[in-house]
Amino acid sequence: MKSLLAICLIFTSILACAGEVPATSAVKGKVLEVKDAGGYTYLRLKTKDDDIWAAVLKAPVTPGSEVTIENVMVMNNFESKSLKKTFKTILFGTLAGSNGMAAAHANLANTVDTSDIKVSKAIGTNSRTVAEVITKAAELKNQIVLVKGKVVKFSPEIMGKNWVHLRDGSGAARDNTNDILVTTTNQAKIGDIVTAKGTVHTNKDFGAGYSYKVIIEEATLQP
Query: Tens digit of pLDDT for each residue in 45-54?
Result: 998 888 999 9
Would you say the C-alpha torsion 35, 40, 41, 45 has a positive or negative sign? Answer: negative
Model-level pTM greater than 0.85? no
Check residue 100 and give its pLDDT: 52
Say whether pLDDT at 209 is over 70: no
185 touches 161 (CB < 8 A): yes
| Domains parsed from the chain with CATH numbers | 4-98 (2.40.50), 110-222 (2.40.50.140)
Q: CA-to-CA distance for 103 and 40, rounded, in angstroms?
A: 13
Residue 146: Cβ within 10 Å count: 20
Give mean pLDDT, residues 199-214: 81
Asked if 172 and 186 count as a contact pair (C-beta separation under 8 A), the reply is no
pLDDT tens digit string along 121-148?
A: 999 999 999 999 999 999 999 999 999 9
Residues forming a β-bridge with 215? 201
Q: How far apart are CA 165 and CA 66, in angstroms?
A: 35
Q: Which range, of 75-89, 93-107, 159-173, 187-201, averages the lowest pLDDT?
A: 93-107
* CA triple 203-104-192, angle to 5 deg: 85
Output the pLDDT for position 171.
94
> Using CA atoms, how far apart are residues 154 and 165, in angstroms rounded to an integer?
7
Return the pLDDT at 79: 84
Return the minimum-mean-pLDDT range out of 43-47, 75-79, 116-120, 215-219. Answer: 75-79
Q: How many CB atoms lie within 10 A of CB 43?
A: 26
Question: What is the model's pLDDT at position 97?
Answer: 67
Which pLDDT value is given to residue 60? 85
Residue 2 has what pLDDT?
Answer: 37
What tens digit of pLDDT does each residue of 149-163 get?
Answer: 999 988 887 777 889
* Percent of all residues in the chain with a pLDDT value above 70, rounded to a whole number: 78
